[in-house]
Amino acid sequence: MKKFYTLVLLFGLILLPTKNLKAQFDPGDVAILENMMNNNFAVSNLLNWNDPNPGNWLGVAWNTATPRRVVQLDLLDEGGWGAGAGAGSSHNTLPFIKAYPGWIGNGVDAALIGNIDLSGLAELYAVDLRRQDSITGLNVSGLNNLEYVMFARNNFTTDLDFSNLPNLQQIHMTSMSALTMLNASNCPRLKLLKSKNNTLTSFNISGSDSLQAIVINYGDSGLNAIDLMGKTELQYLWMRYNDIQSLPGINTCSNLYSLKAAYNDNLQGSYNLSNYDPNLYKFSIADGKATSVTNWLALTPGSLAALNVSYNELTLTNATQVFNELWPNNNYGGSDQTRYGGDSIYVPTTVNHSAEALIDISGSDVASTFTLFSALGVQVGAPNTTGIFGFPAVADTGEYYIEMTNPGAAPLSNFTALTTNNFWVRCAAPGSSQTFTICDGDSVVVGTSVYSTTGIYQNAYTLASGCDSIVTTDLTVQAPIDVSTSVTGITISSNQMGATYQWVDCDNSNASIAGATDESYEPTANGNYAVEVTVNGCTQTSACVAITTVSIDALASSGVRVYPNPVSDALSIELDALNKNTSITILSVEGKKVYESSEITSTKTTVDTKSWKKGLYIVSIKNEQGTKTVKLVK
């Protein structure tokens, strides 16, 4: 028993220091990391985070406060970050980007999976998650002390949100093959954002106006634009090999020092160099669609070390300025500019022009010689010094380009050759015109085009001669006809005003009802009826309306006598009792009204029938009780 108590006492002495040691660490931070160990580490790779002393946990740095909080996570898989942030990477050539001191070692072999939630580590200011290709998400929301993030070689994370982090300074990301959305908005201290090899379609940096460098090279995505409005501190914009089409606000970047935007095939825009740092060091926009690069003389002489504006859409005047001001110490890529026309060159691209159209290059900046070539590179005629070529013959129809040698007032040593974009020359035959007015719902076919709305249309035809002929069609479509109807009792009315009407019997193949040409129609027999409505020569038919109450006898309690029947000169209609709102209507068998009295004040009514034609008539007596109909013969 003595030995037993001795062992218990020694064991208690061992546990007491360990318990007190763990109490030095923030329990919330400890719980977050233990949750990561249990849910985000591969089962076979728990590191040593089950060590009772968190101070020994690999890849974790704690501060010296009480309790101690996590300030760094260096969970780089298969190796470490080294002595500084991004050591050895190309962005270290940026002079204002300093290697981040104090990284805790060479990383740990920590293969992470799933969604990593760091939002509770309030004192965290640096995290390295490179080569963690199985992470599906990262939550750093609310980390007001976070300054540095590295996240690279990941194939699963699609969205990253770093917005509203007040102390975030650098974001380093490479080889994020699944990344489509990056939100780094409203980060007032953010200076570097690097995201290479991505598939971004959404890129938000609004409100992060302290940015000094944006590196977004090698993007294979649908990211169409980068909004640079308000980025007056931006010095480095590197975005080669993307599909970016516009840079709104680029001319507000007054400190721009290096622009590398080559190989964005659809990048459009105009660049005014007087808006940038006068010591602009690099300017590369090759293989894009820039239309203007102006004010080269605003740069400090000798500052520009690299220039590439080749294969854009600069005008002749603008390109001449480039070469006149930067030649002869030409270490710049910029020859063989593709021309689209502009302020001093009149060259159609794919637009058809008549046989008399001239390609006329004029103004102060003109080439020494102009040579016309077919699209196959075969010279057409002799060079000239005017830049004017005529194409009077149909045989000259085809695709051409013009080569301009020694443009403008460049010195004779400048043997620059500029080439226009290919253009078409076509002959034009006399055109024709036609005018149509059609009903709503109809259409006009012109060639292979079908038109059904009011407008003026043009269609081009190639005649047998090879010339173009333009047919102009002026089309007016009549306003729609209202074919709706309304029913009161057994009377059907058309809702279209000011038209011509013809009522038809739907049960008899829409046969016209003789004499039924008023806006309203009261059938003499149960059935289905419709109306043909005609306005300005356009006719449309309403839907059929069912009438089922023509012969209902609701006056049985009040005797009705109609005599004589057949009638000759006078008809008598007698009622046993006079009811309120009693009316009498007599229609011919064709539906024509021959008699109507809307207010009967006597129990006997006499109707003069001498002028009536012989035939069948329908007598209708109506009151609040119902309708009584009688067939009458004359």
Tens-digit pLDDT profile for residues 37-71: 989 887 666 688 888 899 999 889 999 999 999 99
As a three-state string, the secondary structure of 291-306 is EEEECHHHCCCCCCCE
Top pLDDT among 263 and 370 is at 263
Rounded to whole angstroms, the Cα distance separating 411 from 328 reads 9
Query: Could you give the dihedral angle defined by the CA atoms of residues 40, 45, 47 and 51, in that order, rounded to the nearest 10 degrees?
Result: 90
Q: Is the pLDDT of residue 374 over 80?
A: yes
User: Domains in the chain, please, with CATH?
Assistant: 432-477 (no CATH), 485-547 (no CATH), 560-633 (2.60.40.1930)
Per DSSP bridges, beta strands 159-161 and 560-563 are: unpaired
In which residue are the tokens 């719980």 written? 31
Among 39-48, 326-335, 354-363, 535-544, whose mean pLDDT is lowest? 354-363
Q: Is the pLDDT of residue 141 over 90?
A: yes
Compute the half-sphere exposure of residue 74: CA atoms within 13 Å on the CB side of its CA: 23
* Rounded average pLDDT over 163-189: 92
According to the model, what pLDDT value does residue 132 have?
A: 84
* Rounded average pLDDT over 169-181: 88
Most confident residue range from 37-41, 232-236, 570-574: 232-236
The chain-wide mean pLDDT, for the chain, equals 78
**pLDDT over 90 percentage in the chain:** 36
Query: CA dist 398 to 262, 354, 388, 390, Å?
Result: 33, 12, 17, 13
Q: Is the pLDDT of residue 446 over 80?
A: yes
According to the model, what pLDDT value does residue 82 have?
A: 38
Q: Is the pLDDT of residue 222 over 50?
A: yes
Most confident residue range from 144-148, 362-366, 465-469, 589-593: 144-148
* Rounded average pLDDT over 297-320: 70
Instruction: Encode pLDDT of 474-518 as tens digits.
Output: 999 999 999 999 998 888 999 999 999 999 999 999 999 988 899
Rounded to whole angstroms, the Cα distance separating 497 from 479 reads 13
pLDDT band at 220 (very low <50, low <70, confident <90, very high): low
Q: Is the pLDDT of residue 156 over 90?
A: no
